[in-house]
Structure 1
Amino acid sequence: MNREITYQAAKAVAGTVEKHFVQYLREARERGEQASAPEPHAKVIAAMIDTAFWASLRREEGHSPKISLAFLPPEQAIRPLVFEQRLPLTSHMLTKIAPGVERSGIHLGVWYEGEELYIWGTMHEISTFCFVLDVSEPGLLVIKHRRKGGFGKFNNVAVLKGDQIKVVDETSANLPDCPDVLTSLLGFAAASSWNDSVNVLVQLAVSMRAHGRGGSLLVVPSGKEDWRNSIMHPIQYAVAPAFSELAELMRQDIAERTRSSWQTALRQAIDSIAGLTAVDGATVITDQYELLAFGAKIVRAWESAQVEQMVFTEPVIGGEAMVVPPGQTGGTRHLSAAQFVHDQRDALALVASQDGRFTIFTWSPCEEMVHAHRVDALLL
């Protein structure tokens, strides 16, 4: 591709992204898996990022474009919508076509002939490890691919925001204190378990972040009442008996979970709980997904020390573990979540900020303190 690249971050990240996809595709083939996605060359990656970035800064009838580009030829797409005439891959063209393809799950197909990239149509389904570039908001791009098996959200590879580049560090999953929910976000959970266990928490996190109002979700052990020692009483929005819609869905057998009606019900149940986290205070569920309360005010447990420091990490290349005061990572929600996990060490706290930041708080047995995992780069 001979086009001039003017967005410097595109040049900086293209080689790293190329190596990621080449390695994933090679390993998949060595395992005997079907991996038909083409390997994106660094020049293609840089050109697509450059075009998408400048398109993200344009506006059409007052709206910024939200689009998803997939590098795939039409003959490899499943039930594609193919244009009679190819469209040039330019920022102007992306801005013009964006209103018709901004809904979730629609990808614009991008391929090349000679030295020119073009848009050939749209598709809903793409192959595993296909290079996907999402324009999420002005200046914010996410490079990702579909996870193995096609279940759940895509795996993020890198996030670009202005001149800031965050490349996901998959080795974070090997850290001794890495919680299962982070392992799932990094893409190491089995595809068959996407609708099980911690993967429900991933979907709750995505939904919490999507409503954009900020919120806190506390996950406490089922059958135990210790968590109440860290909540102000009376609880204004306590739920009795516990609301078990999500729990009942998760108890249904595997065959039932393949039905579209079950998947729709699951999304609705998750969005309902995630919506409650927007209410001032924290939403409380058990690790079996029973809703116990929302709008709960977190307090320091009786005779417990105030949390003064914690470990902070972000699973991106170059990100180093730091010991920081809880207030350094956010506001009141973050402080109270850190205190809750400090006092209730078998609990988990998920905190969404209004600005899109998302943090998972867990207790670290290795460090003997609260561990804050910044994961918004994995949720976009």
Structure 2
Amino acid sequence: MTHKTTYQAAQTVAQTIEQHFVSHLSAARSASDKTLAPAPTARQIEKLIDTAFWASLQREEGHIIKISLAFLPPDLADQPVLFQQRLPLKPAILTKLAPGVERPGIHTGVWQEDGELYIWGTTRAIPSLSFVVDVSEPGLLVIKHRRLEGFGKYANVAVLQGDQIKFIDEKSVIIEDCPGILTSLLDFNTPLKDIAANVLVQLAVSMRAHKRGGSLLIVPSGTDNWQRSIIKPMLYAITNSVTGLAQLVAHEEEEKANGTWFEALKREVDALAGLTAIDGATIITNNYNLLAFGAKIGRATGSKPVDELLLTEPIVGNEEKQVHPAQIGGTRHLSVAQFVHDQRDALGLVASQDGRFTIFSWTQHRQMVHAHLIDTLLL
């Protein structure tokens, strides 16, 4: 390829990303006979990232560019839309194409022939471990791949924002008392078949997507101890707590047999996540029954205020810190940290309006609240 890279971060990350895909594809091929994506070379990765970055800074009729590029030949795509003429992979071409392919789930297919990358069309279905560059907003690129089988959220490999580079640290999965939702997001080699963790991942993505900020508390079913940490009266307490989401999960196999389970799951997840946009916390059980929304959190009687918590982010080079809750957010973060401190068998999810996302859990090993920053995993 004669293309000259001008986005320096593309050159910086290309070799590391190539090694990631070579390693994971090799492991997957030895464990499965399913069709897998081809591994991109460092030069191909560099060109794809460079082109996507410069396209992301353009606007089409005043609108920002959002586009997903998938590296694979058209014969590996399922029911692709093929262009009669190949299009060169250039920022100007992506800018013009983006408005028609920006909806979630649509990938613009890119392949190489005679040393040159070209655009061959679009597809909604790509093989496992396909290399994907997702343009989320101007200057923000997410390198990801489709998980092995499974459904839902792709596995993020790296996030590039201008000159900032963040590689996801897969080893973060081995930390003590790691919540299941985080384990699922970080375990690149395991499909998201754990329905409990996958539903929480989908809820987190949907909470972040509405961009209003919100809190979701997950408490054990069969107990009302959580009410000790809620200010009464609760304006939006629920009597018939069984949700459509709970019913879908409880009858997963039956619903899948009907062929509409995935669409129904997304609809129910979005409905529940939408409640978190209301001021106050939404509270559900660990089997997804709705208990209340718009709830005000208070410190349980006899409990001490949280004055320190453990803060980590699953990014290569990140070091854990012990900080005051006020250092990671405002009232919403403080109140959820206090709730998890008082209700230690609960889990708290907090979305900020700016896109930051935090999981609060209790670590038995360290005897303190643990705040996991995971917005880089949800992009």
Check whether TM > 0.5: yes
CA offset digits 1:248-273 (Å, max 9, x no partner): 11111414225332222221111111
Alpha-carbon distance between aligned partners in 2 of 1:190 and 1:258, rounded to the nearest angstrom:
23
- Distance in 2 separating the partners of 1:371 and 1:340: 12
Q: Indicate if the aligned counterparts of 1:35 and 1:129 stay in contact, CA closer than 8 A.
A: no
Specify the SS of the correspondent of 2:265: helix
Separation in 1, partners of 2:210, 2:192: 28
Residues 175, 104 of structure 1: alpha-carbon distance in 2 compared, 3 angstrom cutoff: same
Q: Give the drift of 1:188.
A: 5.5
For 2:245 and 2:226, the matched residues in 1 are separated by 21
CA contact (8 A) 1:57 1:138 kept: yes
Query: Could you say which residue in structure 2 is the equivalent of 1:57?
Result: 57
Distance 2:252 2:84 in 1: 45
Deviation per residue, 1:293-331 (Å, 9 max, x gap)? 001011111110000010001111111111111111111
- Residue 99 of structure 2: aligned partner: 99
Give the match for residue 122 of structure 1. 122
Alpha carbons of 1:189 and 1:52: their partners in 2 closer, same or farther (altered >3 Å)?
A: closer
SS in 1 for 2:144: strand
Q: What corresponds to 2:16 in structure 1? A: 16
Matching residue's letter, 1:262? W
Structure 2 residue aligned with 1:288: 287
Higher deviation after alignment, 276-285 or 77-86:
77-86
Distance 1:189 1:229 in 2: 40
- Give the superposed CA RMSD: 1.4
Contact (CA 8 Å) 2:283, 2:291: kept in 1 or not?
yes
Relative to 1, partners in 2 of residues 1:261 and 1:278: Cα closer, same or farther, differing over 3 Å?
A: same
The AA in structure 2 aligned to 1:375 is: I
Find the counterpart in structure 2 of residue 259 from structure 1: 258
Residue 150 of structure 1 and its aligned partner are, at CA, apart by 4.1
Unaligned runs of 5+ in 2: none
The answer as to whether partners of 2:173 and 2:187 remain within 8 angstroms in 1 is no
* C-alpha distance in structure 2 between counterparts of 1:117 and 1:291, whole Å: 49
Q: In 2, Cα distance between the equivalents of 1:61 and 1:85?
A: 25
Please list, as runs of the form range in 1=range in 2, the aligned pairs for 1:10-49 lying within 5 A after superposition. Answer: 10-49=10-49
Give the whole-Å Cα distance in 2 for the aligned partners of 1:6 and 1:110: 20
For normalisation by structure 1, the TM-score amounts to: 0.97
Partner of 1:356: 355
What is the Cα deviation at residue 31 of structure 1? Answer: 1.6
Q: Is the Cα–Cα contact under 8 Å of residues 111 and 118 in structure 1 kept in the other structure?
A: yes
Q: Structure 2 CA distance, aligned partners of 1:164 and 1:192?
A: 29
Rate the CA distance shift 1:133–1:223 in 2: closer, same or farther, 3 A.
Answer: same
* SS across alignment from 1:21: helix
How far apart, in 1, do the equivalents of 2:87 and 2:101 lie? 14
CA distance in 2, matches of 1:296, 1:37: 46
CA distance in structure 2 between the partners assigned to 1:21 and 1:258 by the alignment: 34
1:372 aligned counterpart, secondary structure: strand
Query: CA shift at 1:94, angstroms?
Result: 0.2
User: Is this contact kept in 2: 1:183–1:189, CA < 8 A?
Assistant: no
**Match of 1:108, SS?**
strand
Q: Aligned partners of 1:126, 1:187: CA distance in 2, in Å?
A: 20
